[in-house]
Amino acid sequence: MKLLVRPPQLLRALYKGSLWRMDKNEPTIYLTFDDGPIPELTEWVLDVLKEYGIKATFFCVGDNIVKYPKLFERIKFEGHQVGNHTFNHMKGWELKNSLYIENIEKCQELTKTNLFRPPYGRIKKSQYKLLVKNYKVVFWDVLSYDYDKLTSSKKCLDNSIKYTRNGSIIVFHDNIKAQKNLKFALPQYIEHFLKLNYKFAML
Ligand SMILES: [Zn+2]
């Protein structure tokens, strides 16, 4: 199966006002980490970011914030940005709007943010319309496939580098499923682009 590392223009146009890529004239990359915080991986990500002096955006799952509040505090304390990723990592396509929004609001009591990313990037148009009133809805320009069992660590790194361009928002996961690929790819990805004089920034 061909991986859709970079989402097609047609899909982007469906969600007017959402964020896929930042300024295409600036050599700046936007790292985002979805699904945490979890002790197995978020601690490590924070250490790596600290080592390189980089800030990033963490789209957190409310349930994990409740389980690991200190880790959530560390993300904020170290100057990173947090976004809402629903309380239970919900698939919008499978849920009634009222239940979906309720789950997001439950997460929002903890995240208190203006950023929202739908789990799996899957959201009904009607849900999008409701959310875009209160949130900046963030998708991505590059999907690393770090969580994908069929993607090798090297392929994850190579694809992430190949598809990153000025203003790219890239998705990694502080999710146990991504552990192997993320630990391999993240430091090399950062070093590759620092050498090319790219900057890393928050949304
Ligand atoms: Zn997710």
Residue 2 lies in a domain: no
Residue 94 lies in a domain: yes
Residue 130 lies in a domain: yes
Residue 132 lies in a domain: yes
User: Does this model's pTM top 0.85?
Assistant: yes
Residue 123 lies in a domain: yes
* Mean local confidence (pLDDT), 7-28: 91
Whole-number Å distance, alpha carbon 119 to ligand 1 midpoint, is: 4
In order, the DSSP letters of the chain are ----SS--HHHHHHSTT-BSB--TTS-EEEEEEES---TTTHHHHHHHHHHHT---EEEE-HHHHHH-HHHHHHHHHTT-EEEE--SS---GGGS-HHHHHHHHHHHHHHH--SEE--GGG---HHHHHHHTTTSEEB--SEE--TT-TTS-HHHHHHHHHHH--TTBEEEEE-SGGGHHHHHHHHHHHHHHHHHTT-EE---
Whole-number Å distance, alpha carbon 196 to ligand 1 midpoint, is: 30
Q: Given a cut of 70, is residue 35 above it in pLDDT?
A: yes
Residue 1 lies in a domain: no
Residue 9 lies in a domain: no
Q: Mean pLDDT of all residues in the chain?
A: 96
Tell me, what CATH number does 76's domain have? 3.20.20.370
By the CB criterion, residues less than 5 angstroms from ion ligand 1 are 34-35, 119
Whole-number Å distance, alpha carbon 92 to ligand 1 midpoint, is: 12
* Mean local confidence (pLDDT), 151-172: 98
Catalytic residue numbers, as ranges = 34, 173
Whole-number Å distance, alpha carbon 10 to ligand 1 midpoint, is: 22
Note the pLDDT tens digit of each residue in 37-69.
999 999 999 999 999 999 999 999 999 999 999
Whole-number Å distance, alpha carbon 15 to ligand 1 midpoint, is: 18
Residue 157 lies in a domain: yes
Count of structural domains within the chain: 1
Note the pLDDT tens digit of each residue in 84-124.
999 999 999 989 999 999 999 999 999 999 999 999 998 99
Domain that holds residue 146: 27-200
